[in-house]
Each structure stands twice: as C-alpha cells, then as structure tokens.
Amino acid sequence: MDAFLLQVLSGLATGGIYASLALAVVMIYKATHVVNFAQGEMAMFSTYLAWQLIQWGMPYWGAFFLTLAISFVGGVAIERIVIRPFESHDATLSVVTVFIGLFLILNSLAGWTWEYTLKSFPSPFPAEAYLGGYLSGHQAGLFAVVLVTLAIVYAFFRFTPLGLAMRAAAENPVSSRLVGIRVGWMLALGWGLAAALGAVAGIMVAPLVFLEPNMMGFVLIYAFAGALLGGIDNPWGAVIGGFAMGVLENIMGVYVVGTELKLTVALVIIIGVLVVKPAGMFGRTVVTRV
Amino acid sequence: MPALLEARELHAFYGPTHVLHGVSFAIEPGGITALLGANGAGKTTSLRALCGMIATRGEVLFDGRPVRGKATEDVVRLGVAHVPEGRGTFASLSVEENLRLGAYSRRDRASLQTDFERVYHYFPRLKERYQQQAGTLSGGEQQMLAVSRALMMRPRLMLLDEPSFGLAPLLVQAIFDILRAINRDEKVAMLLVEQNAAQALDIADHAYVLETGRVMMSGPSAEIRSDDAIRRSYLGY
C-alpha cells in the first residue's frame, strides 16, 4: 500500500488519543466555559494509578477498568470540592487559577509518590506490527479501544435520560432546574466522565511515550489544537479535530518539518485557528451584547 | 377548601435590593389565579420566589407543607411546573428532547408515550416539528413548547410567566383557549402572570393586583374587571 496512506492510518491511531482528551476538555469547557489546563495531569495521575495496580499484580484489564472507576470518582470529587465554590458567581479567573493549582498539585504529587524516573508501561496488545511495519500492534489496539470508548460516550449522551439531562444542564442551567434536574450533580458527573476519558487517553498513550509526570504535556497541546480546530464548544467537532491532529502530526513530521518541529505544527494551528476562525470548523459563533 | 399554594408575607431580594414587600396570596386547587400589574410590580419576582430561584423571607406552603428555602429542583419535583419568562427553551436540543426533559423528574417513564400524545393533542404543530431544533421554532411555537414541557411533568400547579409575550393577537387568543382547556381537562391549577390584564381576567377566577412589590387589591376576577377605578389605575385598559 502507498506509504502516504499508511502514515495517515498510523496518524489516525495516535489521533484517537488526542480525540479522547480533546473530548474531555470540551466537556468541561461546555460546563465551566474555561479550558481545563489540568486535564492532562489528571490523565497522567490516572495512568500512574493503573501502573501501580499492575505492579501490585492486578491483570491489565482489571487495572484498566478499576482505574477508570477511580478516575471517575476522583473527577466528581474534584468538581464537588474545588470547583463548586466558584460555580455560583462569575469567576472565570478564579477557576483558571484553580485549574493551574490542580495542575501543579497533581504533577508534584505524582513525582513525589512515584519519582521522576521514566517507567515503561505495558501494552495488552500483540507486539507484531501490521501493514509493513507502519502500524504497531499497540496502535491498532488503542485505535479500537478509543473507537469503542467514543461510541459508548456518544450513545450515553444521545440515548439515555441522564445523558440528555447532562446536555441540558450544560446548555441552560436555569431551565434545567425548572424541570427538576440537579444541575450541580450533572456538572460533577461531567467531571467524572472527563476524568475517565482522560484516563483512557493516558493509559493508551503511556506505552508509546514512557510513564513520567510530564508525559501528558505534549498530548494536551495536541488535544487543545484538535479541540480548537474542531470547535471548542462542539464535542464531536473536537473529536474530529483530535483525529485530524494525529494525521497532521504524522504527515508534517514525515514530509515537511521533521520530527523535531512536530509540536510547532500544533502551536501554529492553535494560533492560526484563534486568529482566522476562533469558533473552529464546527463550532458556533456566539454573539454577546455588551 | 384548603389552598394548594399559599404565600404569606413573602419578601424577595435581588442582592441587596428589596423587591417584594410582604406579599400574600393563595391558589385554589384546580383554579386559575392571575397576578396583574405594571412593569416592575413584582409579578415575575413572585413566581421566582415561589420556586426558590431568589433569596426570600416569609412563608410559602404547597399542599400545606412549607417549601420556602427549598432548592428549585425540589420544589419542582413536588409538582410545580414553572413556564419561565422568555420560555426557557433548550435551543440546541430537538423539540422531542425538550419534551422528554419535561418528564425528567417523573419516575413512571412507561407512560411517557401517552403524555406525548396528550401534549400533541393540544399542540398538533409540535408533532409536525418534533425532530426540529427547538431554537429554530417561531416565538409562538416556542411558547407552545414551553407549556408542553411543563405539561409533560404532570404538574399539580403551573406557574405561567407572560404566555402572551411577543405573540400576535390571534395566537394569544389561541394560547389562552388552550390554557383554559388544559386547566379544565387536566385539573391543573394555574398561577398566571400577565401584562395583558383583559385576557388574563377572562380565564382567571381570582386575581391579585401588584404594585411595587405589594398587593394593592385582590378578589374574584369579575369584581376586579368591573371596578373602573382599578382598571384605569393599575391595569391600563
């Protein structure tokens, strides 16, 4: 098969990681209207939990699902304890500060608990490569995991009463209360879901990059770029943006800028989107009266 | 007959601003009560105060139980459906999803289908548009949707904030006719806030006239309607 196509495929696989993290970022953005800078560190911390569980002798998939559950509860707890106090009044700057605090706390806590040395993270997928070596077994496996995860999230929001209530709470909190929805809890559930999604991204990317406290830094930048490209207020746009970033990263890395400058592409896209089309490809332009 | 909802000496505040100064009123089960008055009289504020959407002082009894100070969603779950000022449409969701949300607080999801039929019977237009994004509906259709969303809850009391706002006169008449039918067929009590006093007095059995956060007078609709002095000073028609 054409080498170009194979680069695209392999890019889609890594893009799955950016897509999940981008979706997590957008879910929290829609509820708080602030980008959660700590999303990557939350995912990193979850990945360390999974690593620890595996070290303690737990089977891989047992550790995987237990980590998702713990991350979900952790996400809910973060919302209830540190975000909730700022929910009632217009306090964007305070929330940003809280996010940066979360970032620093989680990063240091992980380094303090598990040290800053690189750790290798196991992959549950076969080591053989497909398509003439362009697509590793892990990439193929993570692609499948990400697709299943996204399908479950989509089905949850689209077809369940709780998913509908969560969408309603993010869109119109006042009307939501008037139909009896407990808006505060819906926001907390959103945090839980976002944390679990981040955990999937972290656990899936760890075998590719080694486990260390700063491992999600570049992933989060790609995820931001993806979310902005697709539209920061459109979850499915952000997913498409995330996949697109994976492909772009690969193509640009191989054919245009080389591996050292790949991250620059993401930064250029972030700035480019903000300058040219701040709402992204699928986002809505919101006009506010002042 | 004991009142379904009773407010006693209700005060309400927007931040430091004192807006309601000890308002008292009662709503009979199955009746329609109108709250009338000019702009800024405190009509919308009264509705918000009943559902715990703003800071209040005083007493509110629903079905004899105190509900003042409860969270909005808890008051709603007792069977109080508030159709808010501006209709409160979930603009990005479909008509069907908006209606589904109306039934969110109910536990008996099995009978949902009959409720959709019930609502479509009053507002056939919504059935034609059930897959349409609610934000793209016309003002009149959004008002129908807001009333329907409230109906999906099977409420015991509906709080209606200016259902005629921004609608063409023909449509206003249609909406009021339907409200009257809903009140009669569903045995649901209504508290109706209106600037359009003539229309409101037409369907209400009781009315309260508010001015700057106080009840200026109250009584059966017929009495209020026939009092020329009140009509000219407070109702402006």
- Give residue-wise pLDDT tens across range B98-125: 999 999 988 777 788 889 999 999 999 9
For A75-89, write each residue's pLDDT tens digit. Answer: 999 999 988 888 766
Q: Is A75 exposed, middle or buried (0-12, 13-18, 19+ CB in 10 A)?
A: buried
C-alpha radius of gyration, chain A, whole number: 19
What residues contact residue A17 under an 8 Å CB cut-off, 6+ apart?
A142, A146, A201, A204, A205, A219, A223, A242, A246
Choose among A184, A172, A169, A175: nearest CA to B102.
Answer: A175
Average pLDDT per block of 10 residues along chain B, 237 residues long: 87 91 92 90 92 91 90 92 91 93 84 90 91 90 93 93 87 91 92 88 92 89 83 71
Cα separation, A223 vs B87, in Å, equals 37
Under an 8 A CB cutoff, do A171 and B51 touch?
no
Q: Are A278 and A34 in contact (CB under 8 A)?
A: no
The three-class DSSP label of residue B65 is strand
Residues of A in contact with B77 (CB under 8 A): 180
For A77-130, write each residue's pLDDT tens digit. Answer: 999 998 888 876 667 888 888 999 999 999 999 999 998 889 999 888 888 777
Please state the ipTM of this predicted complex. Answer: 0.91
* The pLDDT of residue A162: 94
Question: Dihedrals φ, ψ of A214, to 5°?
Answer: -100, 15
How many Å lie between the alpha carbon of A111 and the closest alpha carbon of chain B? 42
Q: Hey, what are B158's tokens?
A: 């509906």
Residue of chain B whose alpha carbon sits nearest to that of A182: B73
How many Å lie between the alpha carbon of A185 and the closest alpha carbon of chain B? 12
Q: Give the pLDDT band (50/70/90) at residue A288.
A: low
Write the CA distances from A229 to A15, A16, A25, A206, A239, integer angstroms: 13, 15, 13, 25, 10
* Res. A4: pLDDT tops 90: no
* Res. A183: pLDDT tops 60: yes
Residues of B in contact with A177 (CB under 8 A): 53, 71-73, 76
Q: How many CB pairs under 8 A join A and B?
A: 62
Question: Dihedrals φ, ψ of B18, to 5°?
Answer: -85, 115
Residue of chain B whose alpha carbon sits nearest to that of A158: B97
Under an 8 A CB cutoff, do A182 and B73 touch?
yes
Q: Are A234 and A29 in contact (CB under 8 A)?
A: no
Residues of A in contact with B100 (CB under 8 A): 161, 164
Q: Which of B90, B91, B104 sits opposite A161 (nearest CB)?
A: B104
Note the pTM of the prediction, 2 decimals: 0.88
How many Å lie between the alpha carbon of B213 and the closest alpha carbon of chain A? 23
Residue B181's CB is within 10 A of a number of other CB atoms, namely 12
Q: Are B113 and B76 in contact (CB under 8 A)?
A: no
Residues of B in contact with A182 (CB under 8 A): 73
Residues of B in contact with A183 (CB under 8 A): 73
What residues contact residue A11 under an 8 Å CB cut-off, 6+ apart?
A246, A247, A248, A249, A250, A251
Q: Which of A179, A182, A183 sits opposite B149 (nearest CB)?
A: A179
Candidates A87, A175, A285, partner chain B, best to mutate (most B CBs within 10 A): A175
Distance of CA B29 to the CA centre of its chain: 14
Residues of A in contact with B51 (CB under 8 A): 178
| Residue type present at position B104 | Y
* The pLDDT of residue B33: 94
